[in-house]
Amino acid sequence: MRDIGNIIKVEDLNELGCKAAEIIIYEGQRAIEQNGKYMLALSGGRTPQPIYKLLSSVEYINQLDWTKVFVFFTDERCVPSDHPDSNYGMVKKLLLDYVPVKYVFGMYNGVENPREAALAYNGTIKDVFNLNTNGTPKFDLMLLGLGEDGHVVSIFPGFENIEISNELVVAPFVEKLRSHRISLTFNVINQSKKNLFIISGSKKKNIFYSLSNTDDSKYPIAQINFNRTNSTWILA
């Protein structure tokens, strides 16, 4: 078995939510203490929803200075923010509407061409992180889910090598979803200071075990450098 990071096993999604919320808060407190701000990238899907609810609950809400948190998204669907599939809309409804957050950077700005949205987000990241043309951001924490086909963010099987030199954000057309997604690239994920993976269910756990048994896995998620990005896995 190879070392792919710190592994936390939990009983269910509630416990997964608590552990993840604690790690997100701990890393945020540390980043704010060290740099005065917390660069955080949040993902969509079902698994993180209890985490977002917990972060805005009375138990946790005051543990993080949300005025110093910069909220980005790891990937997005090309739908308006009030659409049920919007990651921005989901995170807003469960978390952002309740916390005194000042800096939120949604990925989809309503343009018809998803590639333009990706380019615009590329520019936003460069501005907010104050990067030069070839710079890559270092998020303090990226919260990452996993698909049952091994996709991570919106990089699905077949798009593993989507790394367009200077680009940080891409807009792949995902055949099986018959739609475009907007997604951060592995360029960005592999520079993150900490990647927190949330894994639930036997299919995803099997992918996790295959990743920990071999370093030539074909799943898109295998493109992540787990050691360099100080990975923690919560398995439910």
Task: Give the interface with ligand 6PG as residue ranges (CB under 6 A).
Answer: 43-47, 74-75, 87, 145-147, 151-153
Please, which residue, 45 or 157, has the CB nearer to ligand 6PG?
A: 45
CB of 75 to ligand 6PG, least distance (A): 5
Please, which residue, 127 or 201, has the CB nearer to ligand 6PG?
A: 201
> Is residue 212 within 8 Å of 1, Cβ to Cβ?
yes
**Amino acid in position 20:** A
CB of 62 to ligand 6PG, least distance (A): 27
> Is residue 163 within 8 Å of 155, Cβ to Cβ?
no
Please, which residue, 2 or 176, has the CB nearer to ligand 6PG?
A: 176
Residue with smallest beta-carbon separation from ligand 6PG? 145
> Is residue 234 within 8 Å of 8, Cβ to Cβ?
yes
CB of 143 to ligand 6PG, least distance (A): 9
Alpha-carbon distance of 37 to 152, in angstroms, equals 26
Please, which residue, 74 or 187, has the CB nearer to ligand 6PG?
A: 74
Residue-wise over 120-132: b if at least 16 C-beta within 10 A, else e? bbbebbbeebeee
CB of 152 to ligand 6PG, least distance (A): 6
The backbone region for 153, taken as left when phi is positive above 0, alpha when psi lies in -120 to 50, beta otherwise, is left
